[in-house]
Amino acid sequence: MAADPKAIDLALATVQRALDRLTAGGQHEAAFEIARAQFAASVRASWPANLAALSSALDRALAEGAACLSDGEREELRRAADVLRAVPHP
């Protein structure tokens, strides 16, 4: 099954919104870890490997609480991580 580029772009937009919220909420360490993985994933030639790394960074941030995110924002981030994780590896 091929990856849906639109779904990936939407997931990456969700990640960016979460990054902004984490930074505004003072959760700089979590934001930095996600931003580092997001930067690597922004290079499409690096897909799918760096998308999986980004989903792992999101999972870690969610597991550690991401306290400044609302329940709805955390759920959106979980769905984004699921989309990124589902990109098939050749």
24-73 confidence digits (pLDDT tens): 999 999 899 999 988 888 776 667 778 888 999 999 989 987 778 899 99
Q: Cα–Cα distance between 89 and 68 in angstroms, integer?
A: 33
In a domain, 90, yes or no: no
Domain range for 20: 5-85
Contact between 74 and 68 under an 8 Å Cβ cutoff? The reply is no
pTM for the whole thing? Answer: 0.84
pLDDT-derived band at 90, boundaries 50, 70, 90:
low
**Alpha-carbon distances, residue 53 vs 22, 68, 72 (angstroms):** 19, 23, 23
Query: What distance in Å separates the CA atoms of residue 16 and residue 32, rounded to the nearest whole number?
Result: 12
Give the number of domains in the chain: 1
- Max alpha carbon distance in the chain (Å)? 39
Residue with tokens 């098939």: 88
Question: Does residue 31 lie in a domain region?
Answer: yes
In a domain, 22, yes or no: yes
In a domain, 13, yes or no: yes
pLDDT of residue 1: 45
